Chains A and B, each alone.
Chain A
Amino acid sequence: MSRALIHVPPRARAGEIIEIRTLVQHPMETGFRPLPEGGFVPRLILRRFECIYDGAVVFAAELHPAVAANPYIAFRLRATRSGGILFRWIDDQGAVREERAGIEVI
């Protein structure tokens, strides 16, 4: 199983814009890498990333082979409500990896 590092500020004021940083372990095999014996290493990339917070997908990304190995995605969110933030990555074969972080909104 791959690993992920998530940075979410533990606490924020309501309405404050916070920065979320995510780093997930994945080779992002492009499908363009030649094998020594001929042919190519089959493509296997994370295709989609989503962030679910306070009842909705608030940020999502569609990734292509040009995204670097171990995808790093940072973005901003408006803190609205205390609770969990769910992060989800989906690969070419539909495998899903999820990670959760909590935030306290004061």
Chain B
Amino acid sequence: MTSRRFSTALIAALIAAMTSAPASSEAGDGRRSGYLFMSPQTRAMQDDDMANPGMLTVLEGAELWSRPTGPAGRSCADCHGADGSGMRGVAARYPAFDVAEGKPVDLAGRIRKCSAEHLLIEPPAFESRPLLALMTFVAHKARGTRVTTGEDPRLSRGIETGRGLWRTRFGQLELSCAQCHDDNAGRRLGSAPIPEAHPTGYPIHRLEWQTVGSLQRRIRGCLTGVRAEPFPYGADELIALELFLMDRARGMPMETPGVRP
């Protein structure tokens, strides 16, 4: 209705906005970050630390990082350094293999385990503000680092599990992740571009959420989208998908905190 009033110039501008992408849009091997599927305005929001709302979450994480807590009055900083410099690049190799558990653990799981075992506190709930703040703080320390997840051979079984899930059709729509994000990446679903689903910006500030959220939240959202019952937070299946996706993005630079529409 309203769109009928739009002028020719405006339509031309819309087409230009939809098709423009910088010359550097493709990584050497053709893989493209979701960043490159965004409008110039949303990219600008991610690029400028003063405009990126995810940086507020990084700040929040920095506060929690050095705040003593639990019966022993310990903080993350006591072990890993006051400025978190010990975490430099670490998120770029997660999910990692956890020897005690004998399976992959993601950043959320590692922080929760650390909270229980070393800070001696009740681990922060999945997708809770403190957990996301710490995850964002740690992952921000890896910004610019190239993803190395999957180099550890002990992870190969988990990666294969993730690959299998990626190709499994889910929900009433009977769609697999691969059908959208491999077979139709770069095309559009409604007005929105379908990205290649590289998880290099997580936790992301998603405009739709109006807050920061994890890759698990994003995958659960996709599952709801195909009308499937999503796996619960922390489920092995979600960690396997995270692992598969990070391995698939190996070599791409981390962007945390990413901004996505």
Residues of chain A having any CB pair with chain B under 8 Å? 2-5, 7, 21, 23-25, 27, 68-70, 72
29 contacts between A and B (CB under 8 A): A2-B56, A3-B56, A3-B59, A3-B60, A3-B63, A4-B56, A5-B49, A5-B50, A5-B55, A5-B56, A5-B59, A7-B50, A21-B50, A21-B51, A23-B50, A23-B51, A23-B53, A23-B56, A24-B56, A25-B56, A25-B60, A27-B210, A27-B211, A69-B210, A69-B211, A70-B53, A70-B56, A70-B210, A72-B53
Question: B210 to chain A: which residues have CB within 8 Å?
Answer: 27, 68-70
Interface residues of B (CB under 8 A from A): 49-51, 53, 55-56, 59-60, 63, 210-211
Distance from B68 Cβ to chain A, minimum over Cβ atoms (Å)? 17
Further 8 A-B residue pairs, CB within 8 A, beyond A3-B63, A5-B49: A4-B56, A23-B50, A23-B56, A24-B56, A69-B53, A70-B53, A70-B56, A72-B51
Chain B nearest Cβ from A98, distance in angstroms: 16
Cα–Cα distance between A2 and B56 once the two chains are bound (Å): 9
Nearest-CB residue, chain B, relative to A7 = B50
Most buried by A among B50, B59, B63: B50
Contacts of A21 in B (CB 8 A): 50-51
Q: Which residues of A are found within 8 Å of B59, using beta-carbon distances?
A: 3, 5
- Cβ of A2: which chain B residues have Cβ within 8 Å of it? 56
Contacts of A72 in B (CB 8 A): 51, 53
- What CA separation (Å) do A70 and B50 show in the bound complex? 12
A23 to B53, CA, bound (A): 7
- Give chain B residues whose Cβ lies under 8 Å from the Cβ of A68: 210
Residue of A nearest to B48 (CB): A21
Determine how close the nearest CB of chain A comes to the CB of B158; give it in whole angstroms: 34
Give bound CA distance, A30 to B50, whole Å.
24
Q: Which 3 residue pairs are nearest across A and B when measured between Cβ atoms?
A: A69-B210, A70-B53, A25-B56
Within the complex, the shortest CB–CB distance from A1 to chain B, in Å, comes to: 9
Bound CA–CA A3/B58 (angstroms): 10
